[in-house]
Amino acid sequence: MLTRLLVALLAALLLVASFVVVQFNRRPSLAPYQSLTLPASAEATGGVRVRFAGVTTLVFDDGETVWMTDGFFSRPPALRTLFGRIGPDASVIDQSLRRLGVTRLAAVIPVHAHYDHAMDAPLVAQRTGALLVGGESMRQIGRGSGLADSQMRIVKAGDTLQLGKFTLRFIASRHSPTPYSSGHGNDPITEPLTLPAHVLRWREGEVWSLAVTHASGRSFLVQGSAGIVPGALAHVRADTVFLGTGTLGKKDEAYRAAYWAETVKPTGARRVIPIHWDDFTLPLDRPLQATPYLIDDFEAVMADLQRRGRQDGIEIRMPPLFEPFVP
């Protein structure tokens, strides 16, 4: 009897493991959205161009000042991330910065402190002379990587930061609710984070929405995570919203409707560019792929965004990888 029970249990575990493996390798095709990809743009004097490098890494450049969100390039593979210790890959970071054409940055600004946003940021700051900007959790990540306090700028909700002709306002936000993050409050990092470390050491920390204005009159909102703070963006205006969609495909209709209503509609934006939809366990030296169905459903996300965009007269466009584009 015991032998039969053990065999049945083993069979059940194998079935569950097989399901997880299959689902982790099933993902939506990006082919249906190729026509939505914005064209690469030659340098335009006085204008703002952006480069996208996966997840929520965005490089803003007006020809005078260059700054970056996140700066996450290492993208360690899934098994190492889950069962080992991870840290920045200096050679991958250097290669990615060269590919972006970045040698100097005014600032690198992670939108929160999870590893897929903040892990590489101190090394990017060291390589480029940038200020590392964030809350107290980012200070501890920077200290753990040996970054001097003088190369960090600590901000709180409501603060603004002037970078050349760019003005950035930091608005307290929330992470998308997941089994990993509740979406209702930050989990701070309270001591220097030494590397390499287990993935769970990169706790959420402060979560930001970035309201960006430029002297040219252009305005942008960077919403790195699909969390909702009712009313937080009521007075933000933006021509373009860089909209974090991670795990949005697993949310119900009510949540997606509230996210659009609280994040896109108040800004008066005429364009939405989805970000944080790619599988960040895969390297950047190959074409991006959508997050597996086990974690998200990018088909559902795009169908939802395009439907809401048609209703509200807002175009949905995709960012090219590494190429400069006019947002």
Domains of the chain: 2-316 (3.60.15.10)
pLDDT computed for residue 23 by the predictor: 53
Query: Who has greater pLDDT, 268 or 21?
Result: 268
Residue 269 has pLDDT above 90, yes or no: yes
For residues 310-324, give the mean pLDDT. 98
pLDDT computed for residue 238 by the predictor: 98
User: What end-to-end distance do the CA atoms of the chain give, in Å?
Assistant: 66
Pairwise CA distance, residues 173 & 224, whole Å:
9
pLDDT computed for residue 17 by the predictor: 43
How sure is the predictor about 53, in pLDDT bands with cuts at 50, 70 and 90?
very high
Is 266 within 8 Å of 234 (Cβ atoms)? Answer: yes
For residues 233-242, give the mean pLDDT. 98
The DSSP secondary-structure symbol of 160 reads E
pLDDT computed for residue 193 by the predictor: 97
pLDDT computed for residue 177 by the predictor: 87
Pairwise CA distance, residues 54 & 34, whole Å:
16
- Phi then psi dihedrals of residue 168, to 5 deg: -115, 130
pLDDT computed for residue 196 by the predictor: 97
For residues 79-87, give the mean pLDDT. 96
Helix (H) or strand (E) holding 17: helix 2-24
pLDDT computed for residue 181 by the predictor: 63
How sure is the predictor about 314, in pLDDT bands with cuts at 50, 70 and 90?
very high
Percent of the chain with pLDDT over 70: 89
Angle subtended at Cα 199 by Cα 197 and Cα 204, rounded to the nearest 5 degrees: 115
Q: How many CB atoms lie within 10 A of CB 47?
A: 15
Residue 91 has pLDDT above 70, yes or no: yes
pLDDT tens digits, 106-144:
999 999 999 999 999 999 999 999 999 999 999 999 999
For residues 187-194, give the mean pLDDT. 95
What pTM value is reported for the model? 0.92
How sure is the predictor about 183, in pLDDT bands with cuts at 50, 70 and 90?
low
How sure is the predictor about 178, in pLDDT bands with cuts at 50, 70 and 90?
confident
pLDDT computed for residue 5 by the predictor: 54
Residue 20 has pLDDT above 90, yes or no: no
pLDDT tens digits, 148-172:
999 999 999 999 999 999 999 999 9
pLDDT computed for residue 156 by the predictor: 97
Compute the radius of gyration of the chain from its Cα atoms.
20
Residue 15 has pLDDT above 70, yes or no: no
pLDDT tens digits, 272-297:
999 999 999 999 999 999 999 999 99
Mean pLDDT, all residues of the chain: 92
